[in-house]
Amino acid sequence: MKPEIHVLGISIKTFGVTFALGFIACGAVVARRLRELGRPVDWAYEITFAALVGGVVGARLYYLIERYDSVKHDLLGSVFSGSGLVWYGGAIGGAIGVVAWMRWRGVLERRMFDTCATALALGYAIGRIGCQVSGDGDYGIHSTLPWAMGYPHGTLPTPPGVTVQPTPIYETVAMCLLAYGLWQLRDRVRPGVVFALYLLGSGLERFLVEFIRRNTEVFAGLTPPQLESVGLMLIGALWLASMARRGGASALRTAPA
């Protein structure tokens, strides 16, 4: 594990490096797709910036709300603390930021949502590399599997000799595969299908991995991320069902000319 690296006497957080690389990769994917669609490529920078601002604010607010009892005594200090970002809060905040940008540009349409879907999956996959390298506590439960590993030097270290499920690796692999699949489908299905499949795929991935992570169960044996994942999957399924009901199966299979 390598929570930070030192360059010319400057300490750099490895999670911050992968965080930045994730946004760069997202911007590159969006730029490529905008070029294919004949849209201004410069929009990729605007979309990425809107997602970055909204995502950071959302991730921070979600963290404060989720852990209010432990941060309420120093709320202002916690707001500007260098730690505490929650993925689902970032996803919500980033979505709000991007939707606001789409409305401002007058391009609030399904094809633009599809354009963002692959980037979201890829960005999440790269972000989990940062979790793995920094050992920030997103690893799983105790395990004796051959590929189980310890995080004794992580930001949140495991006890010496204890091995756990390397769930960040699982998530990186799963979301890379999802990003690849969504990219391959971009011109083979109708607008809106790619984004709906992203909601289904990302929700299912997080729902399943939570069974071997360390989060606390809160309802019906499920963790908060699992409940949120169920919501994402329901939205994705209803989105696809609505499209199929209006236009039949061909509404999902065939992209318009």
Q: What is the pLDDT of residues 44-58, one digit of tens each?
A: 999 999 988 888 788
- Cα–Cα dist 75/125, whole Å: 31
Q: Which amino acid is at 113?
A: F
Q: Is residue 115 within 8 Å of 30, Cβ to Cβ? A: yes
Please state the domain extents for the chain.
Answer: 4-39+107-253
Q: What are the tens digits of pLDDT across the range 50-104?
A: 988 888 788 777 777 766 666 566 555 555 454 555 666 777 888 889 999 999 9
- 257 pLDDT band, cuts 50/70/90, is very low
- pTM of the shown model: 0.85
Average pLDDT of span 208-227: 88
- What value does the mean pLDDT take over residues 13-37? 90
Mean pLDDT (the chain) is 85
In angstroms, the CA 246 to CA 137 distance is: 45
Q: How far is 226 from 113, CA to CA, in rounded Å?
A: 23
Q: What's the rounded Cα separation, in Å, for the pair 171 and 125?
A: 7
130 has pLDDT over 50: yes
